[in-house]
Structures are given as C-alpha cells and as structure tokens.
Amino acid sequence: MALFFAVPLAIVCAYSFLTRGDYGGVEQPWTVENFSRLADPLYLAILWRSLWIAALSTAFCALLGFPLALFISRAGRRKNLYLQLVLLPFWTSFLVRTYAWLFILRDTGFVNTVLIRLHFIAAPLQLLYNDGAVLLGLVYNFLPFFVLPMYATLERLDPALLEAAADLGARPFAILRRVILPVSAPGFVAGAVLVFIPCLGAYLTPDLLGGGKSVMLGNLVQNQFTTARDWPFGSAASLVLMLASALLLAALMRSRIARELM
C-alpha cells in the first residue's frame, strides 16, 4: 500500500521543488519557483475555471439529484430497482460514457442531425468544446455520487414526521422547506463533497468534451508531464490538486456527517 501510494506521491513532492532539466527530467537546485508560477494569471485562470466548473457541476448534481433521491426514498418496494437504475450507467466504462456525449454533441452528432432534419436549424450548432459541454459531461458522470449519500439521508427520515406536519396543517412546500430540507443537510454536504472532489480533478471529460478550449487543472498537469515536459511545474500543480482533494475528504470524514452516513 505504502509502496504503491505513498512513495510515488513523495517523489512528486520532491519533484515540485526541483528545477526543470534540459531534456524534460529534473535537476537541482531546489526551488519554490514552481509554486509561485502557479500564481501567474494564465494558471490562475485555469485554477479559477476548475473551481467554477466543479462548483457548478456540484450545484446541478444537487438540483437533479435531490428530487431523484427523494423520489427513490419514497418509492416503497421499487426502491432497489430505482437505485440499480441510478448505479447501472455508473458501472459502465467512464470512457464510453464520455464518448457517448461526444457522439451526441458533435457537429455531425445526434442532436445536430435531429435538429437539422426537423429544419429547426440550417447549420450545425457548436455544442462541443466549451465550458457547457464539460459541465454537462461532469454532471452526467458524477450524478450518482450525489444521489447515493442523499438517498442514505432521506431513507432515515421518519415518514411519521411528514404526516405530523401535514396533520398540523403544513402545506407541501412548507413541509419540504421546514422538515425535509433541514433533515437532509448531511446528505447535501456529503454529496456535494463527493461530487466536487472528482470534478475538480477531472481530466478526461474536459479533454474530450472541452477540446483545448476548456482547460482544467487535470489537463494542466497532464500537459506539463507530456507535451510541455516541465515535470517540476506539473508536480507542483498536481500537489495542489491532491492537497485540495485530501483536505476536503478529511473535513468530511472528521465531521459528524461521516459517522452518520458511513
């Protein structure tokens, strides 16, 4: 375990303080320049975009996932069937799921072909290679990460509470706002963290659906290790990404929420 996980990370740690070598390797002297370069406006923009896209993806997952989880938690005997339906796409290949959107959104893809055939548009719309496409792909890929903890929370909600509220004259919207939402707060937090972390570090989705136009932190790391061959800088970027993920996870695990849900 240590060999497979801690050692590689330690090497990246060391690399991030070294200087780039002539042929793409690393050389001494030790420096913190790689980290200060991250504050360059170009890279700050990428960092900012990653945070924004991850936050928006999380928000959309909550908007789609909360009602879905609520519906499943009250579905009675069909609960397991619906849960399976949520999980099934998740267990098919990540690459295939992302490719599916490429197939649907590209110029000659499903959406454009249908729209042109129906004479709604004359020329294909540019649906791919923008932030919207990346957002869509991320929400699609990580929605189950939100639904599951949300469902686990709502599942514990005593139906008697809802009946009591209704008996006391609360309207449906009031029940939702004053009973269901407060009780489901842990599910929101856990779901949000579980979606936000992988979205922040996403690589394949922005790579395929964003093209070169919607670059996120993951793509920056990949680029530094391959095309740019600046390993120390790539290491520094990946360390930042790693620390952000680890801190968020640690915060979640230490909170009361983890003990309640896991």
Partner 1 sequence: MRQKALGIYAAFALAFLHAPLLILILFSFNASRFTVWEGFSLHWYRAAIDDPQLAEGLINSVIIAVVASLLSTVIGTMAAYGIWRRAAPVLSGTLYLSLVTPEIVTGVSLLALFQSAFRFLRLQLGLYTVVIAHVAFSIAYVAIVISARLRNYDRSLEEAAMDLGATEWHAFSRVTLPALAPAIAAAGLLALVVSFDDYVITSLVAGVDSETLPMVIYAMARRGVSPVVNAVSALIVVAFGAIILISQKLQSE
Residue type, 180: I
The closest alpha carbon to 247, from 215, 200, 202, belongs to: 200
Nearest distance in Å: CB 127, partner 1? 13
Give the residue with the Cβ less far from partner 1, 105 or 186: 105
**Sequence-ordered list of residues with C-beta below 8 angstroms from that of 148, at least 6 positions apart, any chain:** 86, 87, 191
Nearest distance in Å: CB 76, partner 1? 12
Two tokens at 118?
């129906």
CA gap 191, 195 in Å, rounded: 6
Give the residue with the Cβ less far from partner 1, 146 or 186: 146
Nearest distance in Å: CB 102, partner 1? 6
The closest alpha carbon to 147, from 63, 246, 204, belongs to: 63
CB contact at 8 A, 106 and 190: no
Omega before 206 cis (within 30°)? no
CA gap 155, 112 in Å, rounded: 41
CA gap 54, 189 in Å, rounded: 15
Give the residue with the Cβ less far from partner 1, 15 or 17: 15
Nearest distance in Å: CB 45, partner 1? 19
> Collapsing DSSP states into helix, strand and coil, what is residue 20?
strand
Give the residue with the Cβ less far from partner 1, 130 or 211: 211
For strands 26-27 and 19-20, give the pairing. antiparallel
Nearest distance in Å: CB 80, partner 1? 10
Nearest distance in Å: CB 131, partner 1? 19
